[in-house]
Structure 1
Amino acid sequence: MASTYNDILERLRFHLRQFTGPDVEITAQTDLINELAIDSVKLLNLIMEIEDEFDISVPINALADVQTVHELVNLIQRIKVARQ
């Protein structure tokens, strides 16, 4: 089943709130490191959750270009399209 951008964004927000708490505003432009304080350990945990949630495999080197929630959503979309 194809996931829309907004569907992926909402599902990703759910997972991010496990690290940030429910009161933190998370938008597409939110910076994962500077605004959400996602460190390397949290990032690896998040990636494992993303892989389970979306049934994908995220290459670690692909994360080098990901800074915002929007960029992470786009990465998830690209990986999902590539495996179809």
Structure 2
Amino acid sequence: MLETQLSLSEQIQNALGEISQRTGKSVNELIYEAIEIFVSENQQKKRRDLMHKARGIWADREYLNSRDIRQEWDRF
């Protein structure tokens, strides 16, 4: 695991200290969990955005018959 140094405001440090005492988790654990949540939410948003961009890309195409597609695949 890589180490990264953070500079936090006194207010955030105090809040993390209070949460740490209340939950029994270390400040490092709290920060790691928060970053994991942030990354996960952003990856989900990126996926949603890509799906929205892809919506309708087949709208101008004729219906593709699955039987025809399978026959096409069987040629190979």
The interval holding the TM-score normalised by the smaller chain is under 0.3
Select the structure of larger CA radius of gyration. 2
Which structure is richer in relative contact order (CA contacts within 8 A, separation 6 or more)? 1
With normalisation by structure 1, the TM-score equals 0.25
